[in-house]
Structure 1
Amino acid sequence: MSDGTYTATLTGLGTCLPARTVTNDDLARRLDTSHAWIHSRTGIARRRVADPGTGTAELAAAAGSAALASAGRTSCDLVLVATTTPDRACPATAPRVATAMGLTGTAAFDLSAVCSGFVYGLSVATAMVRAGTCASVLVVGAERYSAIVDPEDRSTAVIFGDGAGAVLVERGGDPAGRGAVLHTELGSDGTGEDLITVPPGERYLRMEGREVYTRAVPAMVGSARRVAEAVGWLPGDIDAFVGHQANLRILEAVAKRLDLPPERVVANIEDVGNTAAASIPLALAWAADRGRLAPGDRVVLTAFGGGLTWGSAALLWPDVRPVHH
């Protein structure tokens, strides 16, 4: 996806995290676990959880509005919502999000690729902008995993959190190419569809953690290498690696296989847990706020999720300031 008439540029970044924080100690009061057990196995110390009356659309609309504000825009041509937790099975969540943002009449649709959803959405947005179909696409990753995680299942209740992150992708760019999405690559393997799933007729997510780890690491490593090679980058050229925040052990294993030093790996999982499709934009905003990303930095994004799905993107970091709602 490296050829096209127009340049697709990331121009805005926004987030929304619920106010309520649930710590590992909070979970230990009702589950057979402890902060030490959770943190040593996942890297997570706390996560955000939405109030029962807050839906995925509300989180998505807040993050989307923040991204538009970050870019200095009030509208866009398309709202794309990547989510595993739509508010309804039908209709899609995205039209409600667009209307909540004051964008009634704007094209809007959902995309389902679980934890790879944001990278898939960024790839779709990039292709549509390059083709001239849209001049601007808002890509939102939004999740309310508290709606599908069994609160009594220690294997999943300690991992997931709620939240939303969004970017605006626009036609054109600055002369230095800052913000340009250079290349994306995607993949899937349906033989692993039962490893991360809400079984038919059931309410809660089920996950085979050990097998997911076994499959995730090589898939993320291979995808990251392919997207870097496509733009002529060696591992040492990558200034920041932003992987899906699934588990700190996975991030560390991927970075080690890519020969990336720890200081080039962005990890905010300790504070927010695994937020699925929202994790990469939330991690980008976290890193930008802390001066970990500078305009022009070479950035690789990589994700792995249910389906199984995976994907990566190579981009040059823009001169952008995140907005948080």
Structure 2
Amino acid sequence: MTTPPQTPGIGIIGWGTHLPDKRLTNAELTARFGIDDDWIVKRTGIRERRIAGPGETSASLAVEAGRRALEHAGLRPDQISHLILASGTPEQPSPATSAFVQRELGTTGGAHDTNAECASFAYGLVIAAGLIAIDPRPILLIGTDTHSLVVNPEDRDLSVLIGDGAGAVVLAPHDRSWLRGWDMGCDGTKTDSLKIPAGGSRLPTSETTLRNKLHYAQIKGNEIYLNAVRFTVGSLKRTLNTTGLQPTDIDHLLPHQANMRIIDSILEHSHIPPERLITNIENYGNTGAASMPIALAEALDAGHIKPGDRIMLAAFGAGMVWLTALIEWNAGQPLKQTP
């Protein structure tokens, strides 16, 4: 009897980011809304954001981040078996944003979008692990968002939070999976906490929806805060239980960069030491599905993550959805790729 081949694991072999040049500082927002810088920093931890300029879209940002990730991995576009585009701000309702990105990058495999809002990148990571298990070839995963284009400029609460950007990773088969455990979920009773009401089949675009500004994002901030903390902390505990680890065993906590109040509460209730937090929200704001890959890439480039480090990803978003995942950096060896 022959032994069946082991299912390949998944690892990261390249990464890249792209951020718009345009900066939106707290000083500009204080002038617009009549608030002060200390109020913004205390509530959000943010001092400036990057905002999409003329001609910049979710797809255009994704293309640049994806190109840099491919270069870092040393792979050609035609060596990618699948492109996963993670975003809550698609290029247009149809076709999928991944098609636009695939066209510009020149990848030749499959492509699809995943929309779990700000948790889209984390969802895409787990999806990629499943795809590689049945087709052991590299995957390009890109998180990109341009929430500044769907926020009412008169909305103070969202305007101080959001930023735009893209981050990408190249995932490849390994003899041992870096993904050591994960937990995901959704509570659809919370769909009103953060939403864009119009533009879909539930409320098609019309003169009325435009007049009533129903194509802008709407948020119930306190509900988001309470549920993001509750769902994420519960998910963290379940992932730790799955892997048999304690909070102090985690070397790095990499959360969705929503706002600093939420992140601080997650740290407090999960009992992960605060010095193990990876965050860049001060410089970029909440970049949605792009926030986690951007923060990951910057931590790697700065040398903060070492081989063998355990990284806990903690994502949450509108829906409400959540996903936590434990990654062991540099676990195992990459499998040989076809030239």
TM over 0.5: yes
TM superposition shift of 1:186 = 1.1
- For residue 73 of structure 1, give the secondary structure of its aligned residue in structure 2: coil
Matching residue's letter, 1:110? D
- For residue 203 of structure 1, give the secondary structure of its aligned residue in structure 2: coil
Q: Deviations over 1:212-237 (max 9, x none)?
A: 11101011111112122222221111
When structure 1 is superposed on structure 2, of 68-77 and 153-162 the one drifting more is 68-77
In the alignment, does 2:284 pair up with 1:281? no
In the alignment, does 2:213 pair up with 1:204? no
- For residue 212 of structure 1, give the secondary structure of its aligned residue in structure 2: helix
User: Which position in structure 2 is the counterpart of 1:322?
Assistant: none
TM superposition shift of 1:286 = 2.1
Answer yes or no: is the 8 Å Cα contact 2:239–2:325 preserved in 1: yes
In the alignment, does 2:65 pair up with 1:63? yes
In the alignment, does 2:248 pair up with 1:225? no
Matching residue's letter, 1:184? W
Tell me the TM-score normalized by structure 1: 0.92
User: Which position in structure 2 is the counterpart of 1:78?
Assistant: 82
User: Which position in structure 1 is the counterpart of 2:26?
Assistant: 24
User: Which position in structure 2 is the counterpart of 1:93?
Assistant: 97
Cα distance change on mapping 1:318 and 1:29 into 2, 3 Å: farther
- For residue 36 of structure 1, give the secondary structure of its aligned residue in structure 2: helix
User: Which position in structure 2 is the counterpart of 1:323?
Assistant: none
Could you tell me how far apart the structure 1 residues matched to 2:27 and 2:298 are? 24
TM superposition shift of 1:134 = 4.7
106, 109, 114: which one aligns with 1:106: 109
Answer yes or no: is the 8 Å Cα contact 2:8–2:136 preserved in 1: no
Q: Deviations over 1:35-58 (max 9, x none)?
A: 111111000000000113111111
Could you tell me how far apart the structure 1 residues matched to 2:66 and 2:241 are? 32
Matching residue's letter, 1:259? H
- For residue 29 of structure 1, give the secondary structure of its aligned residue in structure 2: helix
Structure 1 residues without counterparts, runs of 5 or longer:
320-325
Answer yes or no: is the 8 Å Cα contact 1:116–1:305 preserved in 2: yes
182, 188, 191: which one aligns with 2:189: 191
Equivalences for 1:242-261 in 2 at 5 Å?
A: 242-261=254-273
Answer yes or no: is the 8 Å Cα contact 1:83–1:111 preserved in 2: yes
Aligned residue-pair number: 310
Tell me the TM-score normalized by structure 2: 0.88
Could you tell me how far apart the structure 1 residues matched to 2:136 and 2:88 are? 25
TM superposition shift of 1:289 = 2.6
RMSD value, Cα: 1.5
Q: Please identify the structure whose Cα radius of gyration is greater.
A: 2
In the alignment, does 2:162 pair up with 1:150? no
Q: Deviations over 1:132-168 (max 9, x none)?
A: 2351211111001111011111010110000001111
User: Which position in structure 1 is the counterpart of 2:126?
Assistant: 123
User: Which position in structure 1 is the counterpart of 2:324?
Assistant: 312
Matching residue's letter, 1:223? S
Matching residue's letter, 1:262? P
Answer yes or no: is the 8 Å Cα contact 1:117–1:141 preserved in 2: yes
Q: Which runs of 4+ in 1 moved over 3 A?
A: none
Could you tell me how far apart the structure 2 residues matched to 1:318 and 1:35 are? 41
Structure 2 residues without counterparts, runs of 5 or longer:
1-5, 199-208, 332-339
Q: Deviations over 1:2-32 (max 9, x none)?
A: xx71111111111111111111001122222
Answer yes or no: is the 8 Å Cα contact 1:228–1:300 preserved in 2: no
Matching residue's letter, 1:246? A
Equivalences for 1:3-18 in 2 at 5 Å?
A: 5-18=7-20
User: Which position in structure 1 is the counterpart of 2:52?
Assistant: 50
TM superposition shift of 1:88 = 0.6
Could you tell me how far apart the structure 1 residues matched to 2:297 and 2:10 are? 19
Could you tell me how far apart the structure 1 residues matched to 2:315 and 2:323 are? 5
User: Which position in structure 1 is the counterpart of 2:202?
Assistant: none
In the alignment, does 2:168 pair up with 1:166? yes
Identity of aligned residues (%): 39
Q: Deviations over 1:184-204 (max 9, x none)?
A: 221000100010101124221
Answer yes or no: is the 8 Å Cα contact 2:89–2:146 preserved in 1: yes
User: Which position in structure 2 is the counterpart of 1:213?
Assistant: 225
Matching residue's letter, 2:86? A
TM superposition shift of 1:182 = 1.9
Could you tell me how far apart the structure 2 residues matched to 1:114 and 1:192 are? 13
